[in-house]
Structures are given as structure tokens and as C-alpha cells.
Structure 1
Amino acid sequence: MKLTNLFMILLVAGLMNSGCSPKKTETKSCINLKAEDFQQAIDGKQTNLYFLKNGDISAAITNYGGRIVSLCVPGRNGELADVVLGFSSINGYLNAKETFHGALIGRVGNRIAKGKFVLNDEEYNLPLNNGVNHLHGGPGGFHNVVWDVKAVTDTSIVLSYLSPDGEMGYPGNLAVEVVYTLTSNNEVKMDYLATTDKSTPVNLTNHAFFNLAGEANGTINDHVLTINADYYTPVDSTLIPFGENEPVAGTPFDFRQAKPIGQDLNLQEENEQLTNGLGYDHNFALNKEVGKKMTLAATVVEPVSGRKMEVFTEEPALQFYGGNFMDGADTGKYGKTFNFRESFALETQHFPDSPNQANFPSIILNPGEKYETSSTYKFSIQ
């Protein structure tokens, strides 16, 4: 046999053997997160990391706070980017200055003025964790508890938590279930369910911080945002609503037509609402279609990569936060700091301080009722 023929046979055999040999552990995200770095006992319950994948997107979720740790989506040229801020271990979350990264929020998302509300002629006092106000369920809210994992598949995870009567000052035993599903349409679907044995306020959401260019990959002020809302909710200097919604028309809060997030931020010094929020940190009253529960709330496009995110929700409102309080104190899973206005949040919700605002839709859940709501974050390329 000629030497050249022998070489070709050996080369082909080598390639075939290489294809059949055991592969290295596949990265189930666009970053090689390790489940063991998320395995820890907290308050006597075990935490872990779970990987989901469907279509072109993949996610990593921990049952500590029900947090989205990583969310990988493709760009215009097929390149993957991790578009949710997070950390590479449980310790990263435990030691973070910003406590809500990627987390499930409850019992009540957003602020309750002075941590007080009256329900059925009884006043309830909640811990203050945002200046003079109560924020996102308090310091021991759902973001800081270990959720039970009821079921996991390749594309979904079911988390549950029983919040006992009196937890963070709230009345009633509240049983909560949240399902994260990655759909074949490149969507992250979040289904929320809750029941109670005593009347209590409930306003659940997720607090992922996004950058569609990738985690810590620069400003989000060039992202192009549309919000389907004719009205927004003005707030005082502590970010508590005055109680009335106002038209967005003629204000920096008009995102009915797509515009860069940073386009009107130069008006911050002269616009009281931008001053109060240090930029955007406001509720938008969504334009809900009659007879249709799930409606388009917002669209965001990152112009360089072409990544597009659409937010659909059954909720009446959306909180848009522009990363104004990020100050570089936290370092994420790529070794980069989380800096000022390099991430944004779009939190589907009922209105802030609803228990104290007669004009806002009620968030009171009563025994025998079911709290059920869904929101979807859909990813595509523009």
C-alpha cells in the first residue's frame, strides 16, 4: 500500500474516532456555569442551578430567589450573548449590593409607602428597606428565600414557596407557584399562581436586569425602546405615586414611538420626574386591548446586534427602570462590573403602592380566589 493511501486511511479513521470519542461536558449556556457553585444550604434548604434550552435560547435558573442567572440569545450574525445580569455562584448573590438580580419578587413588587397599609380595618406594618418605604416584599422577600423545585424538564421548571402568615408583616399563608418555560418561539414565559387563607396584597413579578448587547457590555441608552402606554405614574422624591396617572404626551416618558432610551435623559435637571427617579424608574399604565388578557407591553432593540425583546403581559402595568442606581459595586459572571445605566428592567406588575391608592386597581387576594397571571419575554432579530 502506498504511503499516501495509508496516510489518508489513518487520517479518516482518526477523524471518525474523534467524532465518536467522549466529548467534554457541554456548556448548557453561553457561559460555562457550574451547578456545584450554586449548591448550598440556606436556612436549612438546598439551592441548586438548573439549565433549560429550547430553540435558539438557553437559560440557567437557581431556586435561590427563583433567579434567572443567565439567558443566552443569538444576534444578527448568530453570535450568542448572555443578556441577563447575574453571578457565577450563590455567594455572588449573597454578597451583592443589588439584591434583586434576576429574582422572583413578592409578596408585593414595587413600593409601599412607609411600609404601611390598612386591610379590613387592620393596619399592617412592613419592614422598610428602601429609605422610608417598603420595596419588593422587604429584605426577606421572595428574592431571598429558597424555592422548592416541583418539576424540571429540558424546557421548564416549576418552583413553589409557602409564605407563612406574618412573613415580612403580611397577613395569611400564601402558597405560590411560578413556572418558567422556554418555548419553541424563543420566549421566556412566566406563569404565576397564588392562593391564600387570609386576605393579603399580592403583586408578583420578575426582576431581571437586561442588556441586549450582553452582560456588562456597555450603555443601554442606545437601546431603542417602545412602551405601549398613553399614561405613566408620576412619583414623589421617594418614588411613591401621587395617586394619579398622567399622559406621556409631551414628556420624556413618551415611548409610544420607538426612541433610544437615552434620548431625553439630558432633560433630567429640568424635569422633576426624571430628577425624582434619577432617570427612568416609573410605572407605565399599559394600553390594554378589550377582551384580550395578554397584550404587548414593550419592545426593545439593540441596534448593533439586532437583538429584539418583546414583553407581553396580562398585567395592567409595567415598571421601566434604566439602571440608575448601578454604581460598579457588583462584579458579574464575566468579571465585569455592573455600571450606571448599563442595564434595564421591565417589570410586569400592578401599580406601585396599590394598597394605599384608591384610584389604582386592587391587588388584594382573598381566600377562595386564585391569583393567576402570565408574562412573556420574546426574543428575535431585527
Structure 2
Amino acid sequence: MRKRPFGVTAAGRPVDCWTLTNDHGMSAEILTYGGVIRALRVPTRNGVRDVVLGFDAMADYEAQDKYIGALVGRVANRIGGASFQLDGKTYTLAVNNGPNCNHGGIHGFHEKVWTAYANAEGDLILTCISPDGEEGFPGTLHLQVTYTLGEDDSLTLTYQARSDANTLVNLTNHSYFNLNGHASGTLDGQTIQIFSDAITESDETSVPTGRLLDVSGTPFDLRKPAPFAPGLTSDHPQIRMANGYDHNFVLHSQPAGPFRLAAAAECADLRLECYTTQPGLQLYTANYLAGEVGKDGAVYEPRCAFCLETQCWPDAIHQPDFPSVVLPAGKTYRQTTRFRFSPVAEK
């Protein structure tokens, strides 16, 4: 593991880039700004390839608002109406996505400069504190995210959080993947598979209605590998409303379940498997990228990548039948997600 300076935020805070490597030639670059996965270089039968979108300069990360590569919280995804009640009190949040609060508010965890250190096992550990009242959420929250690069060509993120008051927590990583390479431009030739029988149906503001939609006979039936294009060009009202995939797939109904395979994606020479303990997975197809200029001058256009945002179900605080995002005071939040890569044999 090695560390290098990456730049300075507009507020004058220095940011480091940590690089983790394994013996197979895989490497991951992690920024202390937002816990961003800046690069993920994976060996394939056609050489090593960087499969996540990112930027070359600190200023570019601060200028964009698409959460590229970042840790997201205190509550990932939408909270309807940008408010919630907890213990008889109403909390008002920032409105930053239609009428809703999205991904923790205006200045969420994606903008924090985290403290970083390497442990004896060679893992990278990021920590930070979210003070009581930050972005409207109650409780002082202590956070730790551990990044582990495995010899099986996997990157594992282990999330932990603890609060001194009842609060809401729902953490995820917002990496944008393109298995053909971050600069390859489209999702052509790539397939997606999600091991789910239902999605949480969304309203016109992308907040769940409370109903579960059976995926059978819809573009959300990804139980077998399917190319991205047919779903993205579907006339299904849920696809039209979101301009593509931006939906929570139901993995199980409990807030923390068995660590299991949730999704898989493939291109001609590379397979990505996503394992998680989380009850949901938000598939997002970069519908609202807008020509951001990324690493090596690559231009990131809509639908040039996909996100596998493992998390609790959106707007769970307003849906009593959904898994809970309430973290009781003194209890520890724990979730794990692993992205594992393997070569695909030539056909």
C-alpha cells in the first residue's frame, strides 16, 4: 500500500490518494475525499483495465454533483418530502432532488475528508465523525469504512457506524462501472444479472410508492443475464420516468441478511460479481451524466456506466413494511459489500 498527495479542497484541506495492490496486478486507488474509489484496475486476458469512472484532479471531484466513486450517507437514496419523524420529533432535511432529500443532503459524506490509516492486515481504514444536526440528522455518528483488496481480485467495503442518539443510517458506495474500461463510452456488449424477484415501485419523483412490483414480464426481470440496451430502450413507465434504470431491487426483507451474491455483470473478457449483506440494490445506469470530462480526457455521457448501490430500501423511514434504517443509540451498524472480478474465457 502506498500514499500520495492528490490535491487540496477549495477549503484548503489536503487530500491523499491511497493505492492498494495484490499479487495478481489488481489495484484500487482510494481518496480520503469522500472515500472515492478513483480507479480500479483489474487484470483481464487482454491486459489490466481501469473499470470505474473518475477524475484526475481534486477540483473536478468538487465541481461534479454525480457522486462519482464516493461513499454516500448519512442516508443513501431518497427521503420523501425531505423530512421524517423519529421519537415524536420532526426533522427537516435539505431538498436536493425534486421535493426530496437524496444521498444525505447537500453536503453529505461524499464531500467529507476522511481520516485514513492502514492496519496490520494491509486494509485501508477511513474514519470520520458526523456531528449531531449535520444535514438535519440527529445524533453524533462515528463512522468507519474498511477497504480490503483480496487475492481473489475482489474489493470489499465493510461499513460500521455508531451513534449517541437514535438516528438514520444507510450507507453505500456510488462507483460507476464500465467493464470495457472507464473511457469506452457505452454499455454495449455488457450484460447485467440481478438475483431479485421484485423492485420497489417508484412514483414520479423516484420515491417508493410502498408497493413491490414483480419483475416477471418487465425489463426488471434480470434474473438471467441480459444486455443493458433492451431495458434502457423499453417503454415501461418505470423506465421512462427514470430515463433508464434507477430502481431498488429487493434482495431480502431484513435490514441485514446473509452475505450472498446479489448481482453479476459481464463483458467479453471480464465478470463482476457483487456480494452484500444489504437488503436492496439500486441499479443506476448513469442516466444523468452530462458530458463530464474524466480521467485521461474521457467524456462521460449518459448511460456510459452502471452503479450497483447496495443499500437499504429507499425512503424506508416512511414505509413501515420496509427494512428499517433506524440505528438505535449505542448499537453498531454493520454492512458488507464485495466486488469480485474474474476473467471470462474466450468464446
What TM-score, normalized to structure 2? 0.94
Contact 1:42–1:146 (CA under 8 A) maintained in structure 2:
no
Alpha-carbon separation, structure 1, partners of 2:162 and 2:188: 39
The match for 1:9 is: none
Contact 1:239–1:277 (CA under 8 A) maintained in structure 2:
yes
Map of 1:13-92 to 2, 5 A cutoff? 35-36=4-5, 38-40=6-8, 43=11, 45-56=13-24, 57-77=26-46, 79-92=47-60
Answer with 148-157 or 241-250: which moved more: 148-157
Contact 1:75–1:381 (CA under 8 A) maintained in structure 2:
yes
Q: When you count strand as a share of all residues, which structure comes out higher? A: 2
Give the C-alpha shift of residue 92 in structure 1.
1.4
Give the C-alpha shift of residue 287 in structure 1.
5.1
Contact 1:318–1:347 (CA under 8 A) maintained in structure 2:
yes
- State yes or no: 1:297 paired with 2:262: yes
Who wins on radius of gyration, i.e. which is larger?
1
Report the residue type matching 2:240 in the other structure: T
What TM-score, normalized to structure 1? 0.86
| Structure 1 unaligned spans of 5+ | 1-27
Alpha-carbon separation, structure 1, partners of 2:220 and 2:67: 24
Report the residue type matching 2:88 in the other structure: D
Give the C-alpha shift of residue 155 in structure 1.
4.4
Give the C-alpha shift of residue 128 in structure 1.
1.0
1:326-350: CA deviation from partner (whole Å, max 9, x where unpaired): 121x101120110111111000000
| Structure 2 unaligned spans of 5+ | none
The match for 2:154 is: 187
Alpha-carbon separation, structure 1, partners of 2:89 and 2:37: 36
Report the residue type matching 1:59 in the other structure: A
Alpha-carbon separation, structure 2, partners of 1:276 and 1:339: 19
Question: The residue matched to 1:47 in structure 2 has which SS?
Answer: strand
The match for 1:362 is: 324
Alpha-carbon separation, structure 2, partners of 1:155 and 1:221: 36
- State yes or no: 1:168 paired with 2:135: yes
Query: Equivalent pairs: percent with the same residue?
Result: 40
Contact 1:194–1:370 (CA under 8 A) maintained in structure 2:
yes
Question: The residue matched to 1:178 in structure 2 has which SS?
Answer: strand
The match for 1:12 is: none
Contact 2:253–2:323 (CA under 8 A) maintained in structure 1:
no
Alpha-carbon separation, structure 1, partners of 2:129 and 2:13: 13
Aligned residues: 342
Alpha-carbon separation, structure 1, partners of 2:299 and 2:122: 30
Q: CA RMSD in A?
A: 2.0
* Closer, same or farther: CA 242–41 of 1 in aligned 2, 3 Å: closer
* Closer, same or farther: CA 214–361 of 1 in aligned 2, 3 Å: same
Alpha-carbon separation, structure 2, partners of 1:193 and 1:311: 19
Q: 4+ runs of 1 displaced by more than 6 Å?
A: none
* Closer, same or farther: CA 153–72 of 1 in aligned 2, 3 Å: farther
